[in-house]
Structure 1
């Protein structure tokens, strides 16, 4: 899966290799370094790899860090839907065997405790659990909206929780592309969006987050993956703006400090397999680094189309990013030969 410097130079030649690797370099002991500008990362080869006979994964969809620094990942492998790692890659715990469509994973605080929201797109539900997997409640298909006649029309991909009041936002990325807003108990408040090309509509609203970087004016950032963008809304669903990411089929937005992160599960077109990478944006929604991709270039304020540039074959189809308290990034991958997450350590 990985190329070291010696083999890469042997294959490509020194001059060709340098031209082919604008976002890739080698550190001491042939370490693989990817990324651009202020955000470069060392690939931690072999991190988190487990015995697939005992602890298998299928699609590794999403990962979050809890208050104890543990890394919680969901997979749609029902032998162990939830894998919990420490930062060294040691497996601490597993649970869950009833989530065949485990896809979205959100962690949030409620008083002194933390809880999870698990979006299962086979069960057509959003399930609230504690960190041990005990189910608290379920959000069923949103018949209150008048948009859904039966459960299979509702295929939730992600959720987010407003830390100010506990409101829950659910996006139906593989269904009708509506955004549903609920209160902290799962009671329906409103919905908006839907499948379409208007500014307030979506083409695969795959992810959502409450952006608290400006606490006086919190907003929602919601994915429109087929349109290669994230869209910003008020907390009650009014469209504000679009963050264009040309060439990037972006998944859910993730915020760490002042940066916005996202996994690109493929680039440019559906006919370009194993073509994913990572996007990192600054506080002004400008891409500053694209580990595994071509360098982000702006012309007249417009980001130019990007695509995979990953000669070391670090990524196949990244599906999420988890940024820990040490600024390391963990990347679960979809449809990537049942591989375990990739860890990138900030350099």
Structure 2
């Protein structure tokens, strides 16, 4: 069996448990380059300084996030990948200091506009690979090297041939990918059919999971998903966004557990015993290994009413955004030091680095 590891596996090896966070470097009363004191969210061990617009200063001319920044991922060298709906390409790459490295992801461009959405990175043997999910029905899930060489593409036609569920009248629009511990993976059609398509380590179709609905095991926008091994038994956990819940499945595709209490959960990352859930409705939630809330970063009901009012108009009006507040967290991930990178679904895009203090 070939060796496979996800970026979260790399993070887990670096920071194995929540208690390991306590030993990370602390940056008290830090300021940005203009000398302004940075806003802080959270409390106790889960306190973070907000570096809004992280990486923006280094973007070359004519490089922009456009309609939204969407996905986040970190490779084993600590480079940060942000998918977007701007130009050029559909993906920007930065070093951990926010210095721009390159644009890529031209495979997911339509009419000179990026359609970047979900992104995850996995090490397979001695090489890392990017798995991309574009927010566009005419495009395809794509596996590529870190240099942008395409390994495979799989779109509606291929998925329907394998599964038989994408017939006439059934929507298809990808959202995210996640990985199994045995080398397999899941392709999530969150904006389309509400199915997850499971493939094994040899790229052979196994099964579909879910389908549209509100019952246990069904989805309304399975927007993101990840592998949850915190209790020692690997399971698939899904951000069932419009149903406002998380759902867990065993590795045979059987529903195991549902957790309610979310607003609009968009994706999932896990580091050690901590689960990270960016919520499109203006907050980020951290759960412990028992799925109890550790922190809800940026949670403010009055602010949320403003964000969601007038048809989400605030996402188009940056002059109304406030430091230390989130608008629409769309994806987020940990780095090796327990910091968080959050990309928001806002016009012009916005990436915030949450630095642990």
TM-score, normalised with respect to structure 1: 0.80
**Residue 54 of structure 2: aligned partner:** 47
What CA distance in whole angstroms lies between the structure 2 residues aligned with 1:213 and 1:232?
12
Q: Please, which of 289, 293, 297 is the counterpart of residue 291 of structure 1?
A: 297
Alignment: residue pair count? 299
Shift of 1:340: 3.3
Query: Cα RMSD over matched residues?
Result: 2.4
What CA distance in whole angstroms lies between the structure 1 residues aligned with 2:50 and 2:240?
29
**Residue 20 of structure 2: aligned partner:** none
- How is 1:119-138 mapped onto 2 (pairs within 5 angstroms)? 119-122=133-136, 123-138=138-153
Q: Please, which of 247, 255, 270 is the counterpart of residue 255 of structure 1?
A: 270
SS in 1 for 2:54: coil
**Residue 189 of structure 1: aligned partner:** 206
- 1:117-167 Cα offsets, whole Å, 9 max, x none, are 1011313421000001110001222213222125972211111111x3211
- How is 1:40-79 mapped onto 2 (pairs within 5 angstroms)? 40-50=47-57, 51=59, 53-58=61-66, 59-79=68-88
CA contact (8 A) 2:71 2:332 kept: yes
Shift of 1:97: 2.4
What CA distance in whole angstroms lies between the structure 1 residues aligned with 2:325 and 2:297?
9
What CA distance in whole angstroms lies between the structure 2 residues aligned with 1:258 and 1:27?
28
- 1:45-97 Cα offsets, whole Å, 9 max, x none, are 45211447431112211111111111111112241312111111111122122
SS in 1 for 2:279: strand
Distance 1:67 1:308, change over 3 A: farther
SS in 2 for 1:261: strand
Q: Please, which of 338, 348, 351 is the counterpart of residue 341 of structure 1?
A: 351
Q: Please, which of 285, 293, 297 is the counterpart of residue 279 of structure 1?
A: 285
Mapped pair 1:237 → 2:273? no
**Residue 126 of structure 2: aligned partner:** 112
Distance 1:200 1:333, change over 3 A: same
Shift of 1:256: 1.1
- 1:15-45 Cα offsets, whole Å, 9 max, x none, are xxxxxxxxxxx94663311113431101124
* Larger RCO, structures 1/2 (Cα 8 Å, 6+ apart): 2
Shift of 1:307: 5.3
**Residue 324 of structure 1: aligned partner:** 335
Unmatched tracts of structure 1, length 5 or more = 1-25, 267-275, 296-305
SS in 2 for 1:102: coil
CA contact (8 A) 1:277 1:308 kept: no
Distance 1:311 1:181, change over 3 A: same
What CA distance in whole angstroms lies between the structure 1 residues aligned with 2:170 and 2:99?
37
> Could you say which structure has the higher helix fraction?
2
- 1:276-312 Cα offsets, whole Å, 9 max, x none, are 12111111111111111049xxxxxxxxxx9579964
